[in-house]
Amino acid sequence: MVDILRGKRLNPMDDKALKITSSVDADRRIMKKIVYVNAAHVKALKRAGLIEPGIASELLSALDKELDGYNLDYRYEDAHMSLEEDLKSKVGEMAGFIGLGKSRNDQVATSIRLEAREELLSLTKSVAGLLASMLEVSKSQGALFIGMTHLQPAQPITVSHWILNYAESILRTVERLKLAYRTTNISPMGAAALAGSTVPLDRLYTSHALAFDAPVENTIDAVSSRDFAIDTIYAISMLASDLSRMSSDIIVYMSLGYMDLDDRFVSTSSLMPQKRNAVVAEILRAKSANLVSMLFNSIEINRTLNTSYNLDLQEITPRLWSAFDEIVPMVEEMSSMIKGIRLNEELINRTAKDSLITASDAAEYISMKYSMPFRDAHHIVGEAIRKTENNRLPLAQNISGVLAGKVNASINQQDIEDSLDPQRSIFNRVTLGGPHPDQSGKMISNINLQLDKLNAWVASEEKKIEKAYELLFSKEW
């Protein structure tokens, strides 16, 4: 172990202990962000009159070159000390000025936040792409579909209605991603180890220089909080849950023969050549469990810690990066896969009729037509279904027969037959957010508006960050 940290205070650390405590592998992701943090810090030192302009210029020039990469060595423990050692080889002992008024504790927390916010924006763009694909499919798929409960045919819906149900859920996850972005986009810099320092640095200045919304106010909280990482992994886990549930639907609908997927997203058996297995959907479903486990791991690491910084926090970071690495290709694959959905409309229409999925429509018709309590109408239709199962007569005929013994009024069997028609059922449903094509159209328009706002927000944040990084190495700033 070199003496940049230990100096004459400590003897060299055991090599195996160094390897197990080193964070260099996870730090590769934030190498550039560490450079940006140090550039902002150098400018803050210069602004406070704590280092001479010439030294600041030399340090900034050297840091600018470090953006191309610097050597990471586990013997320096992490990327932060690796950078300082590399700077030392370029500018000599003046590299030590970058340690004035800061600690690795606030520096690592800041660097992780810088990287996480960019990855959140990138993920949000991928999710916006998924939503756009869902809307594209929804516009073209107004065909009758089988709504299910308890894995059994339940009521008629449309493919559009089914897909939009997931779009609505994913939109709520977008709000979770934006909340995670807000809790991430605040600056720990200047908090130093935990109690700030005697160095008169302007934390607001550094926060602005790095395009943060504000500083994390309490210095202890600044260095020891990883709730932003947990918020992020939680949002990702909820997104994965949506993808998993959608995958499960696709797997079931394929098994029932209602839909098929493009060859790009299925596999076959090494033995049974007739098989078309929805393997991509199966893997998406399984991978969601990995993300949930990362969430619980991170919560557990955080839960046990006492106040302020502990090296345990280091173990949350790889889970954060892994969560991003897992979810992005999952989102992209689902976006492509749903575009290749093909329907077996003949089977769907036959199932809709044979499975009596409009029985509730008939009960509602009877209740409203004859001013009868719905529960009584429900019982009439239920009795008629039992008769149909036994005598194999059409359900409308059996409903008419049962109903005749319950009401003193004329019975129009054609009206009953109409109430049992699955296609009519879609157009008869007047509920806000239901499967009626007009309602689907309204939902599509609403989601499109939200997508436009989302894309504008992402672009605005990316532009703000890009401008801040440009200014860090600008002499005019």
**Whether residue 168 sits in one domain with residue 19:** no
Give the pLDDT of residue 20: 75
**Whether residue 81 sits in one domain with residue 191:** no
pLDDT at 1 over 50: no
Residues 168-213 have pLDDT tens digits of 999 999 999 999 999 999 999 999 999 999 999 999 999 999 999 9
d(CA 36, CA 20): 27
pLDDT at 6 over 70: no
**Whether residue 166 sits in one domain with residue 293:** yes
- Beta strand 186-187 with 214-215 is parallel
Residues 240-276 have pLDDT tens digits of 999 999 999 999 999 999 999 999 999 998 999 999 9
pLDDT at 72 over 90: no
**Whether residue 155 sits in one domain with residue 133:** yes
Give the pLDDT of residue 477: 44
Residue of 238, 10, 214, 45 whose CA lies nearest to 123: 238
Structure tokens at 59: 């340090």
pLDDT at 19 over 90: no
Number of domains forming the structure of the chain: 3
Q: Of 100, 128, 144, which residue is a domain's last?
A: 100
Structure tokens at 217: 């106010």
**Whether residue 450 sits in one domain with residue 416:** no
**Residue 87 contacts by C-beta under 8 Å, 6 or more apart in sequence?**
59, 62, 63, 66, 95, 98
Domain span at residue 368 reads: 358-421
Measured CA to CA in angstroms, residue 222 lies from 252, 264, 312, 395, 463 at distances of 47, 47, 16, 68, 25
Helical axes 79-91 vs 53-66, angle rounded to 10°: 120
**Whether residue 446 sits in one domain with residue 406:** no
Question: Cα torsion for 197, 200, 205, 206, to the nearest 10°?
Answer: -30
Report which DSSP code applies to 393: -
d(CA 88, CA 74): 17
For residue 453, tell me if it sits in a domain. yes
